[in-house]
Amino acid sequence: MIRTILGAVTAITLAMPAVALETLASPYSVSETMDKLVAAVEGAGASVIARVDHSDAAGSVDMELPESQLLIFGNPKVGTPVMQQDLRAGLILPLRVLVSEGDNGTVITWQSPNEMFSGLDVDLESESVKMSAGALQKLTAKAVE
């Protein structure tokens, strides 16, 4: 029985595609980096939907996580055209960026829009997908300046 379960888990794990993530080191603390990212997002005219503190959430149930915050943000002018191509993109949008404490300091992590939308009926060469990719690059770069 255990062997069957382990075999199934292994098969499922091997069948799952690897998620390509982009990372950027930050010279600032998680909180400072996130504050700078929020300022960059708002300065670019996008809306912050939520700032989730995973470490605080873990602490609320007497568990621990390294310092980790998630920013959920977007701009309907960019996201709506993607969702017009495939409403399932609504499972992915708004955009998300994780700022966390790693072994070597603070790290910003996000998934590229091409990776996010692969498998959907979204033209990865569309202006909105390119704008999303450019925005993620620029906003995360501003957070570490």
Percent of the chain predicted with pLDDT > 90 = 86
In this prediction, residues 33-48 reach a mean pLDDT of: 98
The tens digit of pLDDT for each residue in 43-94 reads 999 999 999 999 999 999 999 999 999 999 999 999 999 999 999 999 999 9
pLDDT the model gives residue 13 = 45
Q: Identify the CA nearest to 37 among candidates 76, 85, 72, 12.
A: 72
pLDDT the model gives residue 49 = 98
Was domain 21-143 assigned CATH 3.40.50.300? no
C-beta separation of 37 from 97 below 8 A: yes
Residues 6+ apart with CB under 8 A from 137: none
pLDDT the model gives residue 20 = 85
Cα–Cα distance for residue pair 20/29, rounded to 1 Å? 24
For the chain, the structural domain boundaries read 21-143
Which pTM value belongs to this model? 0.85
In this prediction, residues 23-46 reach a mean pLDDT of: 98
Cα–Cα distance for residue pair 86/89, rounded to 1 Å? 6
pLDDT surpasses 50 at 124: yes
pLDDT surpasses 70 at 125: yes
In this prediction, residues 103-120 reach a mean pLDDT of: 96
